[in-house]
Chains A and B, each alone.
Chain A
Amino acid sequence: MICRLLKEDDNALSTATTIGAAGKSNRRNGSRKIYRIDTTDVANVALFLAIFVGLWQLVTVLELWPKTLFPSPAQVAISIGELIANNSLVIGIGTTLWRLAAGFAISIAVGGMVGLAMVKFQGFGKTMSSFAVGLLTFPSIAWVPFAILLIGFNNFGILFVVVMASVFSVMISTYSAVRNVPPIYIRASKNMGAHGFSLFRHVMIPAATPSLIIGIRQAWSFAWHALIGAEMLITTLYGLGHVLSIGREFNDMSQIIAVMITIFVIGLLFDRIIFLRLEEKVRSRWGLNQHSE
C-alpha cells in the first residue's frame, strides 16, 4: 500500500512535469511571454541594482559604522571571490542543496501520501488537518534542540528539521487540493467508467495540480528556511549555514554578507526557474492566465 501511494505521488509529479513539457510544444501566442527576456526588464533590474549598490557604497563612505562591521560592496565581492577560490562556497552550496533535495523529496512523498490518506479516510482527515495546521505554524527552528538530542549532530538531524518544516504544508495542500476538485469532473469521469485508482490517477491528481504546485512552492520555501537555520545550529557539519556561522565566529562581516547574498540568489533562482515556470505552464495550459494577457 505504501509503495502504491508513493508511486501515486510520483505520478503527481510526473503529471506536473509532462504538463510542463507538453506545454512547450503546444505553446501559442500569449504563453510565450514567460520565456522571453524583456530588455526593459533587464534595464529595470540593472537600475535597481545600481541604486542599491550605490546607497550601500554611500553608507560605507560616510563611515557610519567601522569598515569591519559594515564592509563596502567591493570588500564583499572580494570575499565572494575568496570563498569561491578556496572552494568553500561551492562545497557549501553543493552540500546544502543536496540536503534540501533529500529533505524536500521525503516531505513530498510522506506529505502527499498522508494527505491522500486524509482524503480517503474522512475522520482521520478532519483530525489530522487541525493537527497539521497547528504544526504548520510551529517555528521550524524550534525542532532543532529536539532533533539534536534525539538524532544527534548529523545529516539526519538536519533532514529531520527540514522535513518537519515542510511536510505539513505538503500534507495540507494535497488534502485541500484533492478535496476541492470540482465535482463535475468526478461525475463525468465516473460516468465514463473511471473508479478507484483510475479516477484518482487520471482525474483527481491532474485536476488538483494547479493548487498542488502552489502548496509545493510554499513547502519549498519552508524547507529552505529550516535548512539554513538548522545548518547554523547543528554546526559540526559543513554547509552554507555553517559558512555563515563561521563568519560570525571570526567577526568576518564580508563573509557573512557574501553568504547571505548567495542564499538570496539560490532562493530566487529556485523560485523563478523551477516553481514559477511550472506554475505558469500549468496555468497557461488551463487557460487561467488570460486576464493578464
Chain B
Amino acid sequence: MALIESPHSKILENSKNSSEIQGQQKQESLGFIPIVHVNDVYKSFDFKNNRNNNNDSNSNTTTYNLLSGEQQQQLLNSRSSMRASSSYEVLNGIDLKINEGEFVTIVGPSGCGKSTLLNIIAGLDRPDLGSVLIRGATASSNTMSTKRIMIFQEGALFPWLNVQDNVEFGLKIAKVPKEKRRQVADRYIEMVGLSKFAESFVYQLSGGMKQRVAIARALALEPEVLLMDEPFAALDVQTRDLLHEELVGIHKTTGKTILFVTHNINEAILLGDRVIVLSSVLKNIKKEFRIDIPRPRDPETPELYEIKKQILKEFEGDLQIAKRR
C-alpha cells in the first residue's frame, strides 16, 4: 500500500483506527499470519469491450513486486491511462487482513466493489494488480481450492439435485466415498434444521430454506473461509432475523472465519466482529469499526446506534463528493 503515493492512501491512514493498526502490527510481529490477506488489490472493468482485464494482467500481478519503484509507477501510469479510455475502476488498492475465526462484515452502497472484492478473494475473478494471500500463501484462480467457499445471493443451488445431493455436491467432486459423503451432509443438513427436507427438490423450498441449504453445502466442504455475498438480501425481515441468529450460532459452534458482504448497515453491525465500510468514491476501505458487543445483539443498543450513525455519515460524505464531481 505504501508503494503508491496517492491522496487516497493518506485518507485511508487517517481514517483507520490507530489502535487497530497497532493491534495488527503487534499480531504480525508475534508471528500471526492472517487467514486472508488482501494485498493491495486493484481491479477495473472494461465496459466498452464488455470484458474485464483478466487475461493480460495475470503476468503483471506476479512480476509487479519484482519491479523497481520507478517501473512500478510507470506500469501504474500506463494502466491509469488505459483506465481513462474505456474502463471503470472498481477496486483501488484494497488492503485487508482477516484473522482466523473472525466474523467480518463489509458494508457499502451498491457499486462500491464489494462483490468484486469477494469474487477476487474466492478466486472467481483475478485482480489487475496485487494478490490475495491465504495463510500467507498466494492464492490464484488457477489453484482453485475448496478453502474459500462462496454463498451467493440467489443461493445458486442446483435444481436437478435434491437437498441431500446439493449438500454432497462438493464432496462428490472431491471424490469422497459415498458413505462418508452422506454422513457429512446429514450432519450439516441437521445443523441448518432441514433434516425433514433432505429429499426435497430446490423448487419446493422457500427462500430462507434455500439459503440454509447453501450454507450447509458450503460448510460440508469444511472451508477455512466462508464468503457470503449478500446472502439474505432477498429474504423477508423475519426470515432474515432467524437466519442471522442461526448464522451466529454456526459461527460459534464451527469457529469458521466468515466474510460477509451486505449493503444493509443493520445487518453489518449486528453480525460483525469488525465492520468494514467501503467507499464508492474512493473505491477503497473508508473506515473500520470493531464491535466487541456479544451476539445476539440488539440494534437499539446506544453503542450500535452510534456506530450506525457514523457509517451513515460516511455514506453521506461519499454522496457529497460524488455530487460535487
Interface of A toward B, CB cutoff 8 Å: 15, 19, 26, 28, 184-185, 187-195, 198, 202-203, 206-207, 209, 285-288, 290
Contact = CB atoms under 8 A, between A and B. Distances in A.
Contacts of B159: 285-287
6 contacts: A28-B204, A190-B144, A191-B123, A202-B169, A202-B172, A285-B159
Q: Which of B162, B169, B204 has the most CB of A within 10 A?
A: B169
B154 interface: yes
Contacts of A189: 158, 169, 173
Interface in B187-233: 199, 201-204, 217, 221
A194 B146 CA distance: 9
A193 B202 contact: no
Nearest to A23: B201
Nearest to B122: A191
Interface string B110-135: 00000000000011100000000000
Nearest to B123: A191
B156 interface: yes
A25 to B, nearest CB: 9
B174 interface: yes
A202 B165 CA distance: 11
A286 B169 contact: no
B174 A193 contact: yes
A209 B202 CA distance: 16
Nearest to A25: B199
Contacts of B156: 184-185, 187-188
Contacts of A190: 124, 144
A57 B65 CA distance: 91
B203 A187 contact: no
Contacts of B144: 190-191, 193, 195
Given A190-B144, A287-B203, A206 B158 contact: yes
A185 B173 contact: no
B170 interface: yes
Nearest to A194: B173
B150 A191 contact: yes
B162 A26 contact: yes
Interface in B149-169: 149-150, 152, 154, 156, 158-162, 169
A192 B158 contact: no
Contacts of B199: 26
Nearest to B214: A188
Which 7 A/B pairs are nearest by Cβ-Cβ distance?
Answer: A287-B203, A192-B170, A188-B156, A206-B160, A193-B146, A286-B159, A184-B156
B149 A192 contact: yes
Nearest to B199: A26
Contacts of B170: 192-193
Contacts of A15: 160
Contacts of A188: 150, 152, 156
A211 to B, nearest CB: 12
Nearest to B227: A191
Contacts of B152: 184, 187-188
A26 B146 CA distance: 31
Contact of B145 (A28, A185, A193, A285): A193
B160 A207 contact: yes
Nearest to B145: A193
B169 A192 contact: yes
A285 B173 contact: no
A207 B162 contact: no
Nearest to A199: B173
A195 B143 CA distance: 11
A212 B53 CA distance: 34
B140 to A, nearest CB: 13
Contacts of B162: 26
B202 to A, nearest CB: 7
A185 B174 CA distance: 17
A198 B201 contact: no
B5 to A, nearest CB: 36
A185 B221 CA distance: 17
A194 B123 CA distance: 13
Q: Counting chain B CB atoms within 10 Å of each CB, which of A28, A188, A190, A203 scores highest?
A: A188
Q: Which of B144, B150, B160, B172 has the most CB of A within 10 A?
A: B160
Contacts of A207: 158, 160
